[in-house]
Amino acid sequence: MIHVLVSDSMSSEGLQPLLDAAHINVVQKKVEEVDHELHLFDALLVRSATKVTEELFEKMTNLKIVGRAGVGVDNIDIEAATKHGVVVINAPNGNTISTAEHTFAMMASLLRHIPQANVTVKSNEWNRSAFVGTELYGKSLGIIGFGRIGGEIAKRARVFGMNILVFDPFLTKDRAEKIGVSNCTLDELLTNADIITVHTPLIKETRGILNKETIAKTKKGVYLLNCARGGIIDEAGLIHHLENGHVAGAALDVFEVEPPVNNKLLKFDNVIVTPHLGASTKEAQLNVAAQVTQEVLNFLDGKPVTSSINLPTLTKELFDKIQPFYHLAKKMGNIVSQCMKVPVQEVAIQYEGSVAELETSFITKALLSGFLGARVDITVNEVNAGMIAKERGISFSEKITSNNSGYENLLEVKVFGDNQNFVLRGTHVPHYGERIVGINDFNIDFYPTGHLLYIQHQDKPGVIGRVGKVLGDHEVNIATMQVGRKEKGGEAIMMLAFDRPLDDTLTSQLAAYDDIVSVKSIDL
Ligand SMILES: NC(=O)C1=CN([C@@H]2O[C@H](COP(=O)(O)OP(=O)(O)OC[C@H]3O[C@@H](n4cnc5c(N)ncnc54)[C@H](O)[C@@H]3O)[C@@H](O)[C@H]2O)C=CC1
Ligand SMILES: O=C(O)CCC(=O)C(=O)O
């Protein structure tokens, strides 16, 4: 049974496929309410209320995936997730329209004083002169952060006859041209906009992008909006410019601390607020819940996820192409690790042939996770393999080569360790499967599965017979056997496969023979 914890409120219609799956147990409770069962859950679904911290990852020892039903992942410690090998996914476009519409509603409300006027009429006042507003038409709207939401706002602003100024250091010329805007500098936006709205993620570079100093550069009487994340507009800086009258008004859906407690901003008549409602529509909530549900189901089914924050994004088509190499790479990493029980400094992977055209970084991480998984006692997977390798002082690299060794595709891993190096080559043959075709300088051909014995020996008469006798004496049946040698009478290797694991006494007995150089037992 797979256990999924949904710790924030979510559209039950969106969650339905998870609720319907017979093999999945869905618990809809807050994290604090299941404190003693946290170690059971395979997946965690959240909105913005649950703080997914390092401490939570430490408690959720079985966790494999966190699904954020929304865009912003600033409530999730991505670094800690990566370290713990947990995939983080979000629902990047399910709430775009709702948030753009909310921002627009806030902008119109702010410039026409609708919330304030609403309160007075309901208090039996009829004071029309107190609420003279400002048209949107002809005004310059500065959009900081021109992604999905910023783009939708621009489309609507154009219909309202507004001029649009955009600041986004990552905006491509193509996208700007497609939406018909031009990117300007932050200073140009600040000095020319009548209204400024922020739509960036909350990251180091955007925290306080509007602050006491930058707001001072804006036009007197500017209107500011934040429907993205509390902290993108520095609250102390905003308060300063509301007090001195430089800012005519602000519309805030988000706060540095939510809910805002004793927040001075709430005292200003010209500040209108909503309780983080940008994505709170039936449509958006259904969309984001359905998107993360589908992604989590795919992931738990071993299918690719399309919106991961800490894994390369793969389409189904690409994932299907990668899968055979993914499994081969994982086994190759594992084999090398078991054959090389010494400290390792470097793992170098080379891709040749058709595999080189795929998302090799994913295959490299699979190889590393196979390698590290056989030598560390924590969960290692593609998410955290790179980080764990670095932590343990193991450098890794990948290279695409145009060499042609005669295989349609070839993966080669070279591992450099204390007084020992090891090279393994593998290929995937359609309809036949994975083959290991080279160990160090030897050509060989075996199927990497089950219980194997790798023996390095002298190419002499009687060695193979002696190995067979020892195995026979222990009543061990040889399933398959491959041999390889460089030259007559020189060094040679054997790879034997068995139906059951071998015990250490047997390998020690074989290793004691003079013409046997080394014996390595491999379990896959
Ligand atoms: N109030 C609410 O309920 C909601 C809030 N949000 C917030 O809105 C944010 C934006 O959402 P989307 O448009 O979907 O994200 P997005 O990823 O499509 O767009 C973000 C844009 O910010 C830009 N950006 C990054 N660093 C920047 C910088 N230093 N200066 C200027 N621009 C920068 C990026 O290039 C990108 O184009 C989310 O990160 C989330 O925090 C999203 C949905 C609902
Ligand atoms: O879950 C929510 O309603 C918040 C949405 C949000 O802020 C986001 O998607 O980034």
Residue 178's pLDDT band (boundaries 50, 70, 90)?
A: confident
Q: Is the pLDDT of residue 176 over 90?
A: no
How much is the average pLDDT of 367-395?
A: 89
Complex ipTM tops 0.95: yes
Please indicate whether residue 95, judged by its CB atom, sits closer than 6 Å to ligand 2: yes
Quote the pTM value: 0.79
Q: Where are the alpha helices (DSSP H) in 358-406?
A: 360-373, 385-391
475 Rama class: left (phi>0) / alpha (psi -120 to 50) / beta? left
pLDDT tens readout for residues 293-324: 999 999 998 887 888 888 877 777 888 899 99
The bound ligand whose nearest atom lies closest to the alpha carbon of 208 is 1
Q: Could you please report the per-residue DSSP string of 163-221?
A: EEEEE-TT--HHHHHHHT--B--HHHHHHH-SEEEE-----TTTTTSB-HHHHHTSPTT
Q: Which one has a higher pLDDT value, 320 or 156? A: 156
Residue 117's pLDDT band (boundaries 50, 70, 90)?
A: very high
Name beta bridge partners: 429: 433
276 classed as catalytic: yes
How much is the average pLDDT of 219-232?
A: 98
Q: Please, what is the average pLDDT of the chain? A: 94
Distance CA 71, CA 93 (A): 7
pLDDT tens readout for residues 419-465: 899 999 999 998 889 999 999 999 999 999 999 999 999 998 999 99
Strands 451-458 and 516-523, by their bridges, are antiparallel
101 classed as catalytic: no
Distance CA 394, CA 392 (A): 6
229 classed as catalytic: yes
| Shortest-distance Cα residue to atom 7 of ligand 2 | 72
Domains recognised in the chain with CATH numbers: 2-92+283-301 (3.40.50.720), 95-273 (3.40.50.720), 312-448 (3.30.1330.90), 449-523 (3.30.70.260)
Pocket test for ligand 1, best of 9, 71, 90 (most atoms within 8 A of CB): 71
Pocket test for ligand 2, best of 9, 15, 68, 71 (most atoms within 8 A of CB): 71
Strands 451-458 and 491-498, by their bridges, are antiparallel
Nearest to 243 by CA among 212, 219, 214, 273: 212
Residue 59's pLDDT band (boundaries 50, 70, 90)?
A: very high
47 CA to centre of ligand 2 in angstroms: 6
| Shortest-distance Cα residue to atom 3 of ligand 2 | 279
CA-to-CA dists, residue 256 to 48, 260, 317, 320, angstroms = 13, 8, 42, 43
Terminal CA-CA length for the chain: 25
